[in-house]
Amino acid sequence: MTMQRPHRYRPLARDPAEDWWRGAAIYQVYVRSFRDTNGDGIGDLCGVIEGLDHIASLGVDAIWLSPIYKSPQVDFGYDITDYRLIDPIFGTMEDFLTLLDATHQRGLKLLMDFIPCHTSDQHPWFRESRQSRDNPKADWYVWADRSVDGTAPNNWLSSFGGTAWEWDPRRAQYYYHPFLVQQPALNLHNDEVLDHLLSEMRFWTDAGVDGFRVDAAQCLTWDRDLRSNPPFGRGDPNAFIGGGPTNPFAAQSHIFDRKAEGIDRVLRHFRRFADDTDCIFVGEISDIDSAAAAPEFTEEGRKLHAVYDFGLINCHPDVDSITAQLTRREELLGNGWIYNVFTNHDSTRAVSNLTYFAVDEYRVEAAKMLLFMQMTLKGGCVIYQGEELGLPHPKLEFEQIVDPWAKAFWPTFEGRDGARTPFPWTDGKIGGFSDADPWLPMPDVHLPLNAKAQGDDPHSVMSFVRAFTRWRKDQAVLLLGAEIMSRAERAPIITWRRVWGDRTLRIIVNFSTDMAFMPLDPEWQLVDAPGCATQRSDHGVGLGPLGFAIAEER
C-alpha cells in the first residue's frame, strides 16, 4: 500500500488569484533602527514616513512594522504594557495614522507586529492577576503551584536561558514565561483572554491596518497537565540552536510548551476574526520542526494565512543541506502557505549567514542570489531592512551589546544586535540615520553600502531588487504557482520548477563561487528577467559565481 502524503492534493478553498498576500513581497521595518527624526538616537514613526518613498521604490507590496506599542522596552517592544497606545519613543497616534494614510496612498499594505503570547509584567492585566488567586484576572496568565519539594512545576525552560518559571510571593505560585522573566505568558485557553486580544486587534483594524505578523505563534498554547518535556536524542536535527551551544533549551523536545494542545482552536479564532475584518495573519514559528508545522498553522481558509519560519535561516549553507530543506518543505507544505526569509531582526544577516564564503569578494552577487531565491520559491517573501543593500553582519563588542539574550549567553552567542544596527541612508558619520549617537552603533562597513549610493548605481543590490520585484509582479506563476524541487544533475546547482496554468518555469541557482553549468533540453528557453543569465549554449546554461537563471518550457 502506498502512503499518501498529507495535505498535498487538497484543493484550494478559493481562487488564489483573489488573495493579494500569497505572492506578496513584504518589507520588514525595524522601527528603532530605520530613521530617527527627533534626535534621540532611536528610530521613530516620522522616520518611517520619511523612508516610505525608498520602501515604495523597491516594488514591495506591504510593510511590516516592529512593535510600536507602549512598553518598558526590556525586550525592545516585545514586552507590551498597552496594546492600544503608541510608545512615546516612536511618536504619537497622529504620527501612526499619518504613516498609515501615506502607506495606503502609495498602494502599499501595512501590517503590525502583534504579540499575543505574553505581555510585560508591568501590564495592568498582569499587575491585577498577580495580586490574588481569586481576582477577575487571576486566570489570565499561566500560574501553577510549586512541586512538593518547592521547585518549579516542571522542567520547562526559557529560550532566553534558565527555567521558564518565576516564583511570585504575592500569589505563592509560579508564573510561566517562555522568554524573559519580564514577559509572563497569557492564558489563551481562557476564552475571555482570547476575546480581549481580538478586541485589541480590532482597535487597529478599525483604524485601517491590513493585517498582523503574529509573534512566536508556536507559543500560543501550553499543556494544561504541565507535563515535563522529554530530552532530545543526541544529534537530533530538530534541536533548537538559538542562544548557541551552551543554551540548555536545546536539550529538550518541546512537545508540551510549544505547539501544544488547543492551538487549533486559537488559530481558528484568529481566522474568523481575519475574515470578519478583511485582514491577514502571518505567523512566526520557531523552536519547533517548522517544515512539519507550517501546514498545520496554515490550513487553507481555516487558520493563519501564512507563516514564516527559521528553517532556511538555520540551514547549513551548502547545496545538499539547502536542497534537502527545500525538498522536505515542498513535500510537507501541501496547500499551506509560507513566506521565504533568509534573515530578520532576530538572526544573522543573510550574506554572512547563508554564504559565509562570499561575504568579501562576492558580497553583491551573494545578496542578489539570496534575494532572487526568496522571490522565486513558492510563497511570498519578507525582505528585512538592509537586505536590499546586501549588508553584511557586523561584529559588535560586548560593551556595545544591549540584547538581554546575548548578555545571557556571551560569548558563545552574539545575540540579535548585529541585525538591528541603524540603517545607512548616506555615507555621513551616522549614515544619515540620526543627528545623535544611535542606540546601537553604525557599523563602518555599512557606510559605503548606503541607500543613496546604491540608488545611483544600476549594478547595485538595491537596483536589482527594484527591477526584479517589478518584473515578478506580472509573473503569476511565481506569485501563485506550485513548486517541484529537483535534484540538479551536477553540483553546485539548486533548481526547482514553478507551475501555474500552462506555464512552467525552471529556477536555476549556482550556490557557489565557482563557475557552474546546468544541462537543458532544447525545449527550455531562458527568460529575460532582471539579473538573470540569458545566454545559453546548445547543451544548457553556464552560470558565473552565485549566478542564477530562469528557463521556461516552450
C-alpha closest to that of 65 among 53, 82, 48, 79? 48
Strands 69-70 and 82-86: antiparallel
Count of residues in the chain: 554
pLDDT in tens, 533-544: 999 999 999 999
Res. 358 pLDDT band, cuts 50 70 90: confident
- Cα separation, 153 vs 167, in Å, equals 10
CB-based contacts of 533: which residues, under 8 Å, 6+ apart? 526, 541, 542, 543, 544, 547, 548, 549
Q: For the domain bounded by 482-553, which CATH number is listed?
A: 2.60.40.1180
Please say if the pLDDT value at position 79 is more than 80.
yes
For 255, the enclosing helix (H) or strand (E) is: none
pLDDT at 334: 87
- Architecture label for domain 118-187+223-254: Alpha-Beta Complex (3.90)
pLDDT for 229 equals 96
Smallest CA-to-CA distance from 494 within 312, 343, 348 is with 312
Q: In this structure, how many other beta carbons lie within 10 angstroms of the beta carbon of residue 493?
A: 23
What separation in angstroms does the CA of 527 have from each of 425, 464, 475, 542? 33, 16, 12, 14
- Do 140 and 129 touch, CB atoms closer than 8 A? yes
Supply 132's cell numbers. Answer: 490574588
**Which of 313-327, 352-366, 415-429, 534-548 has the least mean pLDDT?**
352-366
Alpha-carbon span 545 to 512, nearest angstrom: 6
Average pLDDT over residues 344-369: 91
pLDDT at residue 9 greater than cutoff 50: no
pLDDT digits (tens, 9 = 90+) for 395-410: 999 999 999 999 999 9
* 253 beta partners: none
- Does 322 have pLDDT greater than 70? yes
Interval 212-242: pLDDT, tens: 999 999 999 999 999 999 998 666 656 666 7
CB atoms within 10 A of CB 369: 27
Task: Give the pLDDT mean for 178-202.
Answer: 98
pTM of the predicted model as reported, rounded to 2 decimal places: 0.95
Share of the chain above pLDDT 90, in %: 87
For residue 368, what pLDDT band results from cuts at 50, 70 and 90?
very high
Per-residue pLDDT reduced to its tens digit, 10-20 = 444 456 668 99
- Within a 10 A sphere around the Cβ of 528, how many other Cβ atoms? 9
Which architecture, in CATH terms, is 16-116+191-219+257-388+414-472?
Answer: Alpha-Beta Barrel (3.20)
What does the pLDDT look like over 464-507, one tens digit per residue? Answer: 999 999 999 999 999 999 999 987 666 799 999 999 999 999 99
Delimit the domains of the chain by residue range: 16-116+191-219+257-388+414-472, 118-187+223-254, 482-553
Average pLDDT of the chain, as a whole number: 93
More confident call, 360 vs 279: 279
pLDDT at 7: 36
The sign of the CA dihedral 266, 269, 271, 273 is negative
Cell readout for 52 is 516610505
The verdict on whether omega for the bond into residue 411 sits within 30 degrees of 0, i.e. cis, is: yes
User: Which residues contact residue 381 at a Cβ distance below 8 angstroms, ignoring those fewer than 6 apart?
Assistant: 25, 26, 339, 340, 341, 374, 375
pLDDT score, position 354: 86
**Sign, Cα dihedral of 213, 293, 297, 226:** negative
| Local structure of residue 381 (DSSP, 8 states) | E
**CA 210 to centroid of chain Cα atoms:** 17
pLDDT at 357: 72
Going by pLDDT thresholds of 50, 70 and 90, the confidence category of residue 307 is very high
Query: Which of 369, 376, 327 minimizes the C-alpha distance to 487?
Result: 327
For residue 306, give Cα distances in angstroms to 122, 214, 309, 379. 31, 10, 10, 9
Closest among 539, 480, 536 to 551, alpha carbons compared = 536
- What kind and span of H or E run contains 6? none
Instruction: Measure the CA–CA gap between 239 and 233, rounded to whole angstroms.
Output: 9
pLDDT for 2 beyond 50: no
Please list the active-site residues.
215, 284
Per-residue pLDDT at 6: 37
Round to the nearest angstrom and report the end-to-end CA distance of the chain: 37
Cβ atoms of 323 and 345 closer than 8 Å = no
Amino acid 236: pLDDT: 66
pLDDT digits (tens, 9 = 90+) for 412-448: 999 999 999 999 999 998 999 999 999 999 999 999 9
pLDDT of residue 490: 64
Band of pLDDT at residue 139, cut at 50, 70 and 90: very high
CA pair distance 333, 276, nearest whole angstrom: 26
Cα 485 from Cα 508, distance rounded (Å): 11
Q: What is the pLDDT of residues 35-78, one digit of tens each?
A: 999 999 999 999 999 999 999 999 999 999 999 999 999 999 99
8 A C-beta contact, residue 339 and residue 55: no
